[in-house]
């Protein structure tokens, strides 16, 4: 089964304590679709400007990602500049230029409207909703979000949560969305389930992730890395691994959801080892399998 992804396709400038890069390929839709393409066929929809070259396109095309819904229009591609501190779990946004992404009104090509697996990657909630509304009868729709939308578009975001099956967000966002009223992340996750999604996945950076569903709760550690080079895209590629694996297997049992979370964890662990998509470009099935086995061995205790 293929996975439909909508999100930002961007140029990122990133400052970390280990070095900097300027205008490298990034964006929530880019990272998510690239990660998911390790598992299944991917269709990416979004918008780029005329500064987005054929060479950039070919990075995604090489992975077999269907770009027929990625529009190239006059103007500049979305730009994001972020900086990390010595604690790599903390970052600040130095600049965001929405450019052509600001006015983007997604129009799903007819052939994508019957997509069964869909990830609405980080973008304005109204844009994510517009895509959700054009889907005929999806089997599983997930969305991601960020603190900016919780602060500035809360009502739209809550409406979107009523239209999706699952949401992926980080611990700080879960606390913010529940107005710091929940004593634990589990309580926050349950409250978010009350807003609509039957699956809530809370990412905790180097401390792993939590899955809440009506069947139960699953908690995993992160893959233990000694050095994190650049965390950009970790959350998106986590989502790409989760939904890519679910679309590939078509099995939505709780047991399989747990495996999907481990796949998300593993793909994210590769992402943070280099800038942009550089590490993901190098890996294949054997690398994924090796880390999957290591995670299984690490978490087995009886």
Q: What is the contact surface with ligand AMP in residues (CB under 6 A)?
A: 8, 10, 12, 26-28, 80, 96, 122-123, 148, 232-236
Q: Rank residues 99 and 232 by Cβ distance to ligand AMP and give the closer one.
A: 232
To the nearest whole angstrom, how small is the minimum distance from the Cβ of residue 228 to ligand AMP?
12
Three-state SS letters, 115-143: CCEEEECCCCHHHHHHHHHCCCCCCEEEE
Q: Rank residues 96 and 195 by Cβ distance to ligand AMP and give the closer one.
A: 96
To the nearest whole angstrom, how small is the minimum distance from the Cβ of residue 137 to ligand AMP?
27
Do 32 and 5 contact (CB within 8 A), yes or no? Answer: yes
Q: How many CB atoms lie within 10 A of CB 170?
A: 22
DSSP H helices, 87-230, are: 125-133, 147-152, 154-161, 171-177, 185-193
To the nearest whole angstrom, how small is the minimum distance from the Cβ of residue 214 to ligand AMP?
27
Q: Rank residues 63 and 190 by Cβ distance to ligand AMP and give the closer one.
A: 63
To the nearest whole angstrom, how small is the minimum distance from the Cβ of residue 28 to ligand AMP?
4
Residues constituting the chain: 302
To the nearest whole angstrom, how small is the minimum distance from the Cβ of residue 276 to ligand AMP?
8
Helix (H) or strand (E) holding 166: strand 166-170
Q: Rank residues 124 and 291 by Cβ distance to ligand AMP and give the closer one.
A: 124
Q: Rank residues 7 and 189 by Cβ distance to ligand AMP and give the closer one.
A: 7
Q: How far from the centroid of its chain's Cα atoms is residue 188's Cα?
A: 20
Q: Rank residues 40 and 122 by Cβ distance to ligand AMP and give the closer one.
A: 122
To the nearest whole angstrom, how small is the minimum distance from the Cβ of residue 26 to ligand AMP?
3
To the nearest whole angstrom, how small is the minimum distance from the Cβ of residue 287 to ligand AMP?
20
Do 26 and 80 contact (CB within 8 A), yes or no? Answer: yes
Measured CA to CA, the distance from residue 197 to residue 214 in angstroms comes to 10
To the nearest whole angstrom, how small is the minimum distance from the Cβ of residue 215 to ligand AMP?
27
**Burial of residue 122 (number of CB atoms within 10 Å: 0-12, 13-18, 19+):** buried
Q: Rank residues 73 and 252 by Cβ distance to ligand AMP and give the closer one.
A: 73
Residue 216 forms beta bridges with which residues?
213
**Which residue's CB atom is positioned nearest to ligand AMP?**
26
Phi, psi of 230 (to 5 degrees): -155, 110
Measured CA to CA, the distance from residue 107 to residue 96 in angstroms comes to 24
Closest-CA residue to 243 (of 128, 162, 157, 138): 138
Q: Rank residues 152 and 253 by Cβ distance to ligand AMP and give the closer one.
A: 152
């Amino acid at each position: 089964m293929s996975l439909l992804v909508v999100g930002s396709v961007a140029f990122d400038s990133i400052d970390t304590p280990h070095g900097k890069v300027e205008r490298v390929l990034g964006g929530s839709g880019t990272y998510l679709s690239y990660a998911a393409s390790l598992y299944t066929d991917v269709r990416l929809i979004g918008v780029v400007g005329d500064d987005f070259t054929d060479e950039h396109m070919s990075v995604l095309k090489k992975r077999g990602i269907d770009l027929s819904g990625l529009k190239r229009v006059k103007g500049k591609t979305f730009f994001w500049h972020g900086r990390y501190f010595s604690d790599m779990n903390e970052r600040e946004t130095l600049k965001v230029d929405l450019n052509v992404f600001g006015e983007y009104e997604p129009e799903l090509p007819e052939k994508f409207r019957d997509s069964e697996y869909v990830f609405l990657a980080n973008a304005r909630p109204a844009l994510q909703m517009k895509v959700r509304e054009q889907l005929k009868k999806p089997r599983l729709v997930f969305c991601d979000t960020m603190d900016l939308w919780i602060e500035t578009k809360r009502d739209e975001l809550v409406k979107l949560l009523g239209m999706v099956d699952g949401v992926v967000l980080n611990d700080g966002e879960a606390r913010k969305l529940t107005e710091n009223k929940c004593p634990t992340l589990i309580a926050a996750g349950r409250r978010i389930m009350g807003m609509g999604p039957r699956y809530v996945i809370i990412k905790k950076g180097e401390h792993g992730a939590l899955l809440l569903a009506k069947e139960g709760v699953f908690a995993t550690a992160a893959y233990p890395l000694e050095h994190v080079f650049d965390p950009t895209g970790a959350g998106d590629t986590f989502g790409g691994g989760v939904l890519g694996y679910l679309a590939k297997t078509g099995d939505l049992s709780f047991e399989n959801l747990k495996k999907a979370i481990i796949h998300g964890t593993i793909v994210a662990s590769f992402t943070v080892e280099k800038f942009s998509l550089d590490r993901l470009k190098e890996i294949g099935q054997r690398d994924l399998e090796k880390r999957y086995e290591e995670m299984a061995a690490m978490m087995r205790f009886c």
